[in-house]
Amino acid sequence: MGLLQAGQDHRAVRGLAATGGWRLRVPEVVSGGDRPPVALVTGGGGDIGRAIALRLAQMSDAVAIVDRDETAAGAVAQLVEKAGARALAIRADVSSARETAAFVEAVETRLGPIGIFANNAGIEGVVAPLHEYPDETFDQLLQVNVKGVFLGLKHVIARMMQRGTGAIINTASTSAIRGRAGLAGYVASKHAVLGLTRTAALDVARTRIRVNAVLPGPVESRMIRELEGQARDSAIALRRSAAIAHGRPQDVASVVAFLASDEAAHVNGAAWVVDGGMTLA
């Protein structure tokens, strides 16, 4: 397992590996055949991202974990290796076109062709009424949650198109299909993720590439604890059914694994809600 910083020159990386500056298993490039696919998980250092990476490690030859927190990415990569898959941790900003192009290139160079892409990175913003919502926070949410998803789709699909196959799962939210008081930036960004999912699915519909979205409800994670804490402080109610417990990151990861598998070969452009029925309550 090693840690790359997006944009780092591959020749320099090889030199560091050779001199012991950092540890990386340098594998042969996977060129297809019967070997399991290589998986890429953005936002892989977070609670849901970690669960996705570990679940995909059970069905992949290798898993690349991209996160802006290098320590978190490295910790997940170690868990992936313990699960039996090769791993690569990369520190990157998904909202940067340059860094996205670099980490996609690094994954394919170091691990092999990307067969599964969990486009999962995202941030929550703040809880505030729309008329008080900070402009800079709204802009940041669009940069990470929308542009980051767009860039991931753009660069990974371009690679998958060369092979004509692949599975992409975007992490949206039940906020993609409903409004939520106090979450203007988050709700707008997740509606956009669902729109990008459906558009990308149509763009690749004549290939064996599939693009779907998973829509988690409240999940036990740092993000939901942060949002619920802000809501309590601001007296804004985040509507949810008290009778339905929060989900677990593993619940989301299991649906991602299904959508990445051959069992979902005819599933494209779909929005899979994972919320225990909360949106119906």
Supply 214's token pair: 């998973």
Give the Cα separation of 95 and 24 in Å (integer): 26
Supply 196's token pair: 């990008």
Beta partners for residue 170, in sequence order: 119, 213
Which of these is catalytic: 103, 150, 186, 272? 186
3-state SS, residue 145: helix
Q: What is the pTM of this model?
A: 0.85
Predicted confidence (pLDDT) per residue in 112-163, tens digit: 999 999 999 999 889 899 999 999 999 999 999 999 999 999 999 999 999 9
Classify each residue of 183-200 as buried b or exposed e, where b means 16 or more C-beta atoms within 10 Å of its C-beta: bbbbbbbbbbbbebbbeb
3-state SS, residue 35: coil
Predicted confidence (pLDDT) per residue in 216-268, tens digit: 988 775 665 565 555 554 445 455 555 467 789 999 999 999 999 999 999 99
3-state SS, residue 22: coil
Q: Is 186 a catalytic site residue?
A: yes
Predicted confidence (pLDDT) per residue in 76-119, tens digit: 999 999 999 999 999 999 999 999 999 999 999 999 999 999 99
Structure-token match 């900003």, residue found: 93
Q: φ, ψ for residue 233 (rounded to 5)?
A: -65, -30
Predicted confidence (pLDDT) per residue in 2-50, tens digit: 566 655 543 333 322 322 322 333 333 333 445 689 999 999 999 999 9
What value does the mean pLDDT take over residues 266-274?
A: 97
Residue 1 is predicted with a pLDDT of 59
The secondary structure of 89-138 as a DSSP string is EEE--TT-HHHHHHHHHHHHHHT--EEEEEE--------B-GGG--HHHH
Neighbours of 250 (CB within 10 A): 16
